[in-house]
Chains A and B, each alone.
Chain A
């Protein structure tokens, strides 16, 4: 091959559009692939103020009209958005003379576009499954959920390889869609530890005082306020934690459970101890993570658990549910504390252990920081991803499509 390896990446979110973990994942993956000599085109949904086309860190980003009429429901919007995404990506690839090597789709949200492009250009498709409907909903209960589940199955069926970011997700996806083992690849998610290291040593006491009193320990939650993240478990143990230690709970993120949880906190008279911030900007988030005396990830379902890694990079001790990807990230008593999922007593024990035992906490913080530097490096992840592209292309070159 004389030209460089070329990948077209499809994602429904890319900065500055940030809804969940896919956006930062694709951002760092694309950037690190570009640094490793892969030409990457990202096709994604538009966002107010973001240009239709730009080059970000060597990555060509194209933003499409994401269908702005009111939609009957979220899934229908996704399929309508895919009509536009596929159309624009098809025009882009055509303008490149069809000279791309792989299509890489992130989640069912871009399944249609990825599958269509594969067939019209006859190039291999890869998918990264960040999550599954059956996992998010803890089972399939309605036709709406089944439709999404079957769309995910269709995407994995059409993909040459399916990438998952933890061993847990590999076995989960394999079970959920009945995939052969050799179709699945585990490539860990990453964290950019550099952004936390940058402002090392800066004085955050002024910043901290905006969120908590000096004698309050900060308990931080970062995530969507939805059922599978277990935020209701955390909010329900606030009184029990406060019996043992004076703390301020800071809840960052939004979701359908916010109203319900904040009114619960008001009704039990603890509004001054629990702060719902909604979304915050990157800088505020990083500072909060650095200030946190404990970062809690109480998820009931967690394919990976990037917030735990971010906290570890920020040198904040972590208390996580022993579930999914979190089980692999954290080694109990070594790099953090694991608690039983959906178990209030266990969660109270974990949080108070970290807040009260300073020697123990300093030790797990230091170990966690080291682990993040060694294992979850984007450069390494990009090299592994490039390796998968190359393996697929070598198989493809022997196929009837080549």
Chain B
């Protein structure tokens, strides 16, 4: 099985909790013989590509250097994420089973790759704009929410880290409860459950 993980933070670039979580996920996947690629942001502290512990990491940078906010920054970075993921896809003779997109940042790329190349994706929810912005509904917040919605609509499955988050995805975005799989981070069956979800989602489309 071959998986591409999208995350806007990844060690050594640590913004919040997501970076370490994704790193540990990638490690465990490699241990379980999953061919693991990580596409993340590159802020000039690291090289563009490395392959440590069997995790193939591609760090892309923004082709548009000047921005007026995080939204425009994210939206122009997505094409570089697409480029890196498409390179993985073509270099692996199109054998990519699925993409695991963490949070909203690279949802546009995941959706495009699904529509273009039939590679399905799961949307791993770390946090939601509603909670980050305390319910604010400015055009800026609405735009991020619309991207979260798009990701939830187009994803094959959501992976949430708590029952509470599953209920919030239902409350805020009307995601059917059985579309969201709850996999608590500290549980003993954590990686086993993740692999099961990957297996179910990645079973076919990528090999069409």
Contact = CB atoms under 8 A, between A and B. Distances in A.
B64 interface: yes
Candidate in B64, B67, B139 with the most chain A CB atoms within 10 angstroms: B64
Given A112-B75, A112-B78, A70 B142 contact: yes
Interface string A94-123: 100000000000000000100111011110
Contacts of B71: 72, 76, 79
A71 interface: yes
A143 B117 CA distance: 35
Interface string A80-105: 10110011101101100000000000
Contact of A120 (B76, B116, B147): B116
Interface string A108-145: 00001001110111100000000000000000000110
A69 B143 contact: yes
B20 to A, nearest CB: 29
Contacts of B67: 143, 147
Chain A residues touching B, majority SS: helix
Chain B residues touching A, majority SS: helix
Contacts of B79: 112, 115-116, 119
B83 interface: yes
B72 A75 contact: yes
A340 interface: no
Interface in B92-119: 108-109, 111-113, 115-118
B139 A119 contact: no
Interface in B54-83: 63-69, 71-72, 75-76, 78-79, 82-83
B68 A73 contact: yes
Given A69-B142, A72-B139, A122-B86, A83 B147 contact: yes
B146 interface: yes
A154 interface: yes
Contacts of B44: none
B140 interface: yes
B150 interface: yes
A4 interface: no
Contact of A76 (B66, B72, B78, B113): B72
Given A69-B142, A71-B139, A120-B82, A94 B108 contact: no
Contacts of B83: 116, 119
A147 B112 contact: no
A176 to B, nearest CB: 15
Given A67-B146, A71-B143, A119-B83, A150 B116 contact: no
Nearest to B109: A116
Contact of A116 (B68, B78, B118, B146): B78
B143 A119 contact: no
A69 B140 CA distance: 10
B164 interface: no
Interface string B130-166: 0000000011101100110010000000000000000
A66 B179 CA distance: 28
Contacts of A94: 115-118
A157 B75 contact: no
B68 A144 contact: yes
Contact of A69 (B66, B90, B108, B146): B146
Nearest to B146: A69
A15 B68 CA distance: 31
B75 A72 contact: no
A116 B72 contact: no
B69 A83 contact: no
Interface in A51-78: 67, 69-73, 75-76
Of all A-B residue pairs in the complex, the 7 with the closest CB atoms, nearest first, are A90-B116, A79-B75, A90-B115, A119-B83, A146-B66, A70-B139, A120-B116
Interface of B: 63-69, 71-72, 75-76, 78-79, 82-83, 86-87, 90, 108-109, 111-113, 115-118, 138-140, 142-143, 146-147, 150
Given A70-B139, A116-B109, A143-B67, 6 more contacts: A69-B139, A76-B143, A112-B75, A119-B82, A122-B86, A147-B64
Interface of A: 67, 69-73, 75-76, 79-80, 82-83, 86-88, 90-91, 93-94, 112, 115-117, 119-122, 143-144, 146-147, 150-151, 154, 157
